[in-house]
Every structure is written in structure tokens, then in C-alpha cells.
Amino acid sequence: MMNQFDMEEIQKAILKVLSEDFSGVEITSVQVEDDISYEDDEILRVQVIFKGRAKDIKPSFLSHAIARVRPTLANHKLSAFPMMSFVSEHDAQLASCR
């Protein structure tokens, strides 16, 4: 498991690579949590918060996001597979009110 400093560094790195590579989508934050899958594999839960609506994100953005993030994780010596979810700011705010 990673410490808080590591998580903050990983969040910044993922935000940077996604923001640079996918300029058509404004990403406002990234939240990362390490976890273990039901098969006991290390995974990294990555929640990407973006401005706009879900239909504003092109399917190609979603399909390439994991491939773009994996080298960044490897540079930080992480082998955990990223399980990514994309949530609009509006939906994230609604969820936080519950």
C-alpha cells in the first residue's frame, strides 16, 4: 500500500498526462486509491473528474486513457492495474451531497 505522499504524486502525474494528451476534455481533478481485486491482484482505483457532460467525452478518450496512464505508473514503480472511472463535476457534486 502507498502512503499519502505517494498518492498525491500519482494523482498529479495522472492529471498531467491526461490533461496533456486529451486536450479536448478539461480534467479538474484525479483521485487515486490503491486496492486489491477480487482475484487478489493489486489495482489502482482512479476517478477522473471533468468539466462538461458524459456525452462530451469521446469514446476514443476513454479507450486510450489506460494505455496513456500505464507508462506514468511504471515510472513511479507501480505495477497495479488502473481501474478508471470518469465522472462529471456535476455528478461528483451530486454524489457528495448524499
**Domain residue spans in the chain?**
4-96
Across residues 16-39, what is the average pLDDT?
Answer: 88
pLDDT at position 69: 95
Cell of 77: 514503480
41, 81 Cβ separation under 8 angstroms: yes
Single out the residue of 69, 87, 92, 68 nearest to residue 10, CA to CA: 69
**pLDDT greater than 90 at residue 81:** yes
- Determine whether domain 4-96 maps to CATH 3.30.70.1350: yes
Longest dimension (CA), the chain: 37
Tell me the C-alpha to C-alpha distance, in Å, between residue 29 and each of 77, 79, 90.
22, 22, 13
Mean pLDDT of the chain: 87
